[in-house]
Amino acid sequence: MDLKLVREEAIEGTNRFFWDKHGFVPDPDSEEFEDEYRRQFELAKQRLAGARADAEVTRAPASRLPDPTNFAELSGEPTQIRWAAALRAERWQEIRDPGIRDWLATTWTKAKSWVDTRDLPTPVFLQRIAPHYAEYRKRADERARLLASERQAKEAVADQIRREVADAGITVAGLIELIDICDRLPPLPIKAKLAELDSEGRNLRVFETADPTVLMVLEKEAAGRSEYAIERDQGLVGDLALFTRAMELS
């Protein structure tokens, strides 16, 4: 049995156990860590002893490197970068945990960090980086929770806007009809766009103008284009703004 492989699996299993249970990994010299490591060591021995030889992970030859597109660019002295790239590829192949592999491949970008740890056996290397990986996982989880919270808040706002649009009976066809019944005035220079409406081959873009009492409409349809102004109606403007907000959040 490959005891090196057993030790690596035991260390990775121990790190995962504490991270999933407590959100951090205790000191590798602590009794708590040692007790769990011994348990994980026995579990790893049992798994490997019961596995068929052809099911074991086959280490790639040293000449075959992982896909370089998975690796972030290294920084440092050119000679160190070349050395670090080879060290990183070799270390990457020896580590089984996909989360740690991705973290190392994308965030460990200082060549000196790889060179400085070149002589550490992989189990010791994993112990050294465990607290840093735990902190990375913690920050990543916090970012994910924050993004989820922001997404839920946006969805709640969007749902509220959609309900307001539905309750008010606002539709594209209805808004175009309101514009059609307005008297058409001479065109004016446009300013900020209020809304864009598409229905049955017609496209209407409604704009503010320098005149606070007038709106401009740029219309395009199969028959051609037209430009005209209409009297500003606060009810229409409010419905256009609410409709536009609902479309932006959909």
**In which residue are the tokens 């403007």 written?**
237
End-to-end Cα, the chain, rounded Å:
58
Range of 208's domain?
169-249
Whether 61 and 120 map to the same domain: the answer is yes
Q: Find how far residue 152's CA is from the centre of its chain.
A: 15
Our separate counts of H helices and E strands in the chain read 8, 5
Lowest mean pLDDT among 60-69, 120-129, 150-159, 229-238: 60-69
pLDDT for the residue 42: 84
What is the model's pTM? 0.48
| Per-residue pLDDT tens over the stretch 134-188 | 999 999 889 999 999 998 998 898 899 989 999 999 999 999 999 999 999 999 9
| Per-residue pLDDT tens over the stretch 25-43 | 788 778 888 888 888 888 8
Contacts of 23 (CB under 8 A, 6+ apart): 134, 138
Domain membership of residue 162 (yes or no) is no
pLDDT for the residue 177: 95
Q: Find how far residue 100's CA is from the centre of its chain.
A: 18
Whether 111 and 39 map to the same domain: the answer is yes
- pLDDT, greater one: 74 or 47: 74
Look over the chain and give the mean of its residue pLDDT values, rounded to a whole number: 85
Whether 8 and 108 map to the same domain: the answer is yes
Alpha helices in the chain (DSSP H): 3-22, 31-50, 78-94, 98-107, 111-116, 122-168, 172-180, 234-249
Whether 134 and 219 map to the same domain: the answer is no
pLDDT for the residue 1: 55
| Per-residue pLDDT tens over the stretch 78-125 | 878 888 888 998 888 889 888 899 899 889 999 999 999 998 999 999
Domain membership of residue 158 (yes or no) is no
Domain count, the chain: 2
